[in-house]
Amino acid sequence: MEKLLVFYGEPEDPVAFENYYRSTHLPLVRELPGLVSAQFSLGIQGMGDEAPYWGLFEAVFESKEAMKAALESAQGVAVGADVANYATGGATLAHGPVNILN
C-alpha cells in the first residue's frame, strides 16, 4: 500500500476553502482510479507549539505504481489542476509506504 499526503498551509479564507474543498475538490478525488481510501483533517492545531500545517489529506492506493497511474490519469490531472482554485495557503505533497502498527 502507498499513501499520498497533501499538507495545506492556512488559507486566506478557511470557510471558503472548506466549502470549495467539500463541494468541488473531494468529489473529483473520489473518482481517482485505484483509490482504496481517503481521509482529511482541516483546522489542525498544535500541541503547545503552532502546527506547521492547517490541513492534511491522506489517500491510500494498492501500490506506488497504482498511485502514480492515478495521478497521471485524466482524473488525476484534473484533481491536481483544481488545487490552485482553493489552496491559497499552499499545498505540499509527499508519499510513502503504509506500515501497520501491530
pTM: 0.91
* Range(s) of the domain holding residue 79: 2-97
Would you say residue 85 lies in a domain?
Answer: yes
Q: Which residues pair with 70 in a beta bridge?
A: none
Would you say residue 102 lies in a domain?
Answer: no
For residue 16, pLDDT beyond 90: yes
Would you say residue 90 lies in a domain?
Answer: yes
Would you say residue 54 lies in a domain?
Answer: yes
By mean pLDDT, which of 12-16, 21-25, 80-84, 98-102 is the weakest?
Answer: 98-102
Would you say residue 84 lies in a domain?
Answer: yes
CATH code, 66: 3.30.70.100
Overall domain count for the chain: 1
CA 81 – CA 72 distance, rounded (Å): 12
Would you say residue 26 lies in a domain?
Answer: yes
pLDDT, tens digit (0-9, with 9 covering 90-100), for 71-93: 999 999 999 999 999 999 999 99
